[in-house]
């Protein structure tokens, strides 16, 4: 049984004791002051016995296999597989939080928490042939000790670390991360101090300083901004963000304007208008940013990469389908020979098993297990999903076929393959549904969980009003309608 108690935790880093014996957490600019037995703002760091203890060390939502684009990272090994993990607790409390069920500890259902060791995570990545570990979903800042320990171990095995964060963190902690993190994807929510104080319960200036700390190092960096209806969806907001990036980071930093969905305490508005997102992109381009993308909008072209010299299409993206058809193997434009700021070289070593191409393994799973089927309908707001097997499943083969395109994907989950959850998405605009065939023992089952955006970690089937009704029966599911 997993419990969030200090005796099951670990002593934290970055804190000091005051003369009155209260302790101060120096991980975030909040500098929470805690007396004995008291927790900080995040709900997972506390004063226990006169020491700062973390109660979320190794506690995570289920590890999930995704692609790097899901983290708003488009210029580092496009299409690369990543192993994503998300902690519990957060140093912020955004009114529109996309993962409030786990970021806000008082709302937490402990059944959604799994416990891992650094060794288990690294072993899983190696076993599955995944070369990038992603620290994401709930903001990883308050998971600092576990991230540092695991990231160090990952680097010893030639793996890379990706850090997706709103980055409300002290400069000292940011410097520590820069020692082990290879890719930063930072969510800069606004350039308005009042927006941060009122809507996120944080401060703007420390975040800008922490981003500049990354920029001082030779580390891959991309910036995203969630465009929230009636909060930061104006032309002025888009222009301010773009100008700050140009002035402080340069014109080569990729910028992602990301579509928002109503959630948590901010449910009275509609999703971000596509028109607003297209306008934000045009504004950023006019300010000089060379590569601007729109996230969470399943339309053709909005996530493609173009050569800034000749406008040749270098990379096409739709959902998790990524094709670098306009680039050579050494990362140059096939039309003009220019070399865009995209990392293609791969120095990490990994001897993982490529089950997808092992026909013997596939045939054995198909022949010796029961076949069942789920039909999942793509809807206007649901264009991706997580697929999760039961926790005691030994092995399962999942075959997804997209219709009408016929595009097919294979996934392996279960204890034997080190992972219980994978992500899938719509692969072409014309596709309307997928058929999910899965092969497993009769007692095993597969649960499909619709995604409202790429940063969303679903903890149960969506039941948000009549528009997201999950209808299931034993052997056939009609999907989300």
pLDDT tens profile 405-416: 999 999 999 999
The pLDDT > 90 percentage for the chain reads: 77
Residue 354: what pLDDT? 57
If you count DSSP H runs as helices and E runs as strands, how many of each does the chain have, helices first? Answer: 9, 28
If one compares 460 and 266, the residue with the highest pLDDT of the two is 266
For residue 344, pLDDT beyond 90: no
Burial zone of 96 (CB within 10 Å; 0-12 exposed, 13-18 middle, 19+ buried): buried
More confident residue, 464 or 327: 327
Contact 142/42 with Cβ under 8 angstroms?
yes
| CATH class of this structure's domain 355-480 | mainly beta
What does the domain layout of the chain look like in residue ranges? 6-54, 59-323, 355-480
Q: How confident is the model at residue 334 (pLDDT cuts 50, 70, 90)?
A: very high
Q: For residue 464, is pLDDT > 60?
A: no
In this prediction, residues 77-84 reach a mean pLDDT of: 95
Question: Taking Cα atoms as reference points, which of 246, 238, 232 lies closest to residue 283?
Answer: 238
pLDDT of residue 347 exceeding 90: no
SS3 content of the chain, % helix, strand, coil (to 5): 25, 30, 45
Second-level CATH architecture of 59-323:
Alpha-Beta Barrel (3.20)
* pTM, rounded to two decimals: 0.92
Quick one: pLDDT at residue 345?
Answer: 64
The three-class DSSP label of residue 58 is coil
pLDDT at 3 (0 to 100): 60
- Please tell me whether the peptide bond between 404 and the residue prior to it is cis, using omega within 30 degrees of 0: yes
Average pLDDT, the chain: 89
In this predicted structure, what is the pLDDT of residue 396?
A: 96
Cα distance between the two ends of the chain = 36
Please tell me the predicted confidence (pLDDT) of residue 330: 85
What digits encode the pLDDT tens for the residues 213-239?
999 998 999 999 999 999 999 999 999
Instruction: Write the pLDDT tens digit of every residue in 258-291.
Output: 999 998 899 999 999 999 999 999 999 999 999 9
What integer pLDDT is reported at residue 477 of this predicted model? 34
Identical fold, 59-323 and 355-480:
no
Dump pLDDT digits (tens) for 33-49. Answer: 999 999 999 999 999 99
Does 191 have pLDDT greater than 90? yes
Q: At what angle do helices 171-178 and 204-215 cross, to 10 degrees?
A: 30
Look at residue 476 and tell me whether its pLDDT is greater than 60.
no
In DSSP notation, 122-165 reads: HHHHHHTT--EEEE-SS-GGGGHHHHHHHHHHHHHTT-EEEEEE
What's the pLDDT at 456?
79
Query: Helix, strand or coil for residue 445?
Result: coil
Q: Parallel, antiparallel, or unpaired for β 313-318 and 321-323?
A: antiparallel
Over the stretch 99-149, which tens digit does the pLDDT of each residue have? 888 888 888 777 788 899 999 999 999 999 999 999 998 899 999 999 999
Of 231, 233, 255, 234, nearest in space to 244 by CA: 255
């Amino acid at each position: 049984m997993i419990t969030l108690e200090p005796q099951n935790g670990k002593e934290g880093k970055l804190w000091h004791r005051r003369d009155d014996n209260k302790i101060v957490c120096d991980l975030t600019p909040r500098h929470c002051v805690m007396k004995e037995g008291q927790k900080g703002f995040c709900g997972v760091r506390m004063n226990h016995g006169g020491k700062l203890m973390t109660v979320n060390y190794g506690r995570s939502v289920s590890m999930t296999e995704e692609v790097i684009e899901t983290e708003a990272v488009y210029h580092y090994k496009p299409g690369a597989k990543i192993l994503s993990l998300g902690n519990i607790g957060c140093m912020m409390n955004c009114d529109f939080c996309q993962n409030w069920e786990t970021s806000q500890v008082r709302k937490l259902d402990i059944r959604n928490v799994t416990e891992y060791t650094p060794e288990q995570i690294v072993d899983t990545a190696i076993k599955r042939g995944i070369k990038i570990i992603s620290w994401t979903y709930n903001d990883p800042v308050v998971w600092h000790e576990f991230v540092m320990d695991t990231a160090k171990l990952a680097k010893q095995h030639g793996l890379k670390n990706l850090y997706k964060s709103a980055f409300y963190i002290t400069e000292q902690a940011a410097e520590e991360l820069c020692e082990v993190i290879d890719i930063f994807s930072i969510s800069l929510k606004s350039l308005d101090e009042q927006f941060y104080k009122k809507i996120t319960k944080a401060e703007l200036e420390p975040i800008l300083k922490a981003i500049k700390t990354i920029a001082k190092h030779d580390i891959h960096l991309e910036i995203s901004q969630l465009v929230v209806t009636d909060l930061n969806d104006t032309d002025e907001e888009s222009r301010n963000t773009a100008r700050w990036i140009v002035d402080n980071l340069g014109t080569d930093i990729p910028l992602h304007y990301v579509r928002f969905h109503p959630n948590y305490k901010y449910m009275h508005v509609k999703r971000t208008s596509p028109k607003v997102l297209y306008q934000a992109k045009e504004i950023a381009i006019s300010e000089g940013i060379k590569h601007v993308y729109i996230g969470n909008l399943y339309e053709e072209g909005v996530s493609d990469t173009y050569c800034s010299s000749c406008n040749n299409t270098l990379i096409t993206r739709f959902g998790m389908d990524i094709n670098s058809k306009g680039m050579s193997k050494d990362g140059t434009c096939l039309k003009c020979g220019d070399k865009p700021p995209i990392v293609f070289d791969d120095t990490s070593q990994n001897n993982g098993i490529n089950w997808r191409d092992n026909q013997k393994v596939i045939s054995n799973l198909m022949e010796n297990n029961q076949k069942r089927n789920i039909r999942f309908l793509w809807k206007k707001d649901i264009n991706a999903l997580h697929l999760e097997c039961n926790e005691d499943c030994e092995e399962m083969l999942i075959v997804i076929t997209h219709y009408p395109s016929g595009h097919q994907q294979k996934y392996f989950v279960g204890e034997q393959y080190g992972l219980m959850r994978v992500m899938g998405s719509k692969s072409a605009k014309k596709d309307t549904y997928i058929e999910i065939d899965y092969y497993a023992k009769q007692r095993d089952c597969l649960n499909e969980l619709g995604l409202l955006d790429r940063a969303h970690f679903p903890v149960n089937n969506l039941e948000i009003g009549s528009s997201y009704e999950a209808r299931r029966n034993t052997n056939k599911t009609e999907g989300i309608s």
